[in-house]
Amino acid sequence: MSRENVERLRVGFDSFLAGSTEWGADLLDPEVVWDATNTMVFDLSRVYHGPEGVREFWRSWLQAWETVEFEYELVEAGDRVVALIDQHMRGRSTGIDVPLGKYAQLYTFRDGLIVHWKLYESQAEALQAAGVSIPS
């Protein structure tokens, strides 16, 4: 199932990049946990529960940005997928480009749905947590 998880997540990422407002919603388990405690935005840095909690985080995060663009690589790790991301945004009110840089997200799947999702400021740390070596 791991290859299928990677491909399903890729569809969600590509849907986001194409401007869809419902990207990835069909991937979330009803009991999903989104651990955003490592986010750089302190008022959003906490654990969110359920699909509505995930939507709450993303509504709050995205309202500040006119554009959010990124390149990504998905790394298969059994029932987990590591998303290696290099992101930049443009502020909605300022128009200033902000290079967020490289970070990672680790997704844990069960029966094809995301049950746990964790943000890592370090790509190497996320890969280590998933038990995979750093891709070259």
Which CATH number is 2-128 given?
Answer: 3.10.450.50
Pairing between strand 28-35 and 113-120? parallel
Q: What CA–CA distance (Å, rounded) separates 109 from 14?
A: 19
**pTM above threshold 0.85:** yes
Nearest Cα to 6, choosing from 73, 60, 68, 65? 73
Residue ranges of domains in the chain: 2-128
pLDDT tens, residue by residue, 48-82: 999 999 999 888 888 888 998 999 999 999 999 99
Return the beta strands (E) in the chain as ranges: 28-35, 47-49, 65-77, 80-91, 97-110, 113-120
Q: Residues 77-134: pLDDT tens digits?
A: 999 999 999 999 899 999 999 888 899 999 999 999 999 999 999 999 999 999 997 6
pLDDT on residue 116: 97
- If DSSP codes are grouped into helix, strand and coil, which group holds residue 135? coil
Rounded CA separation 132/116 (Å): 18
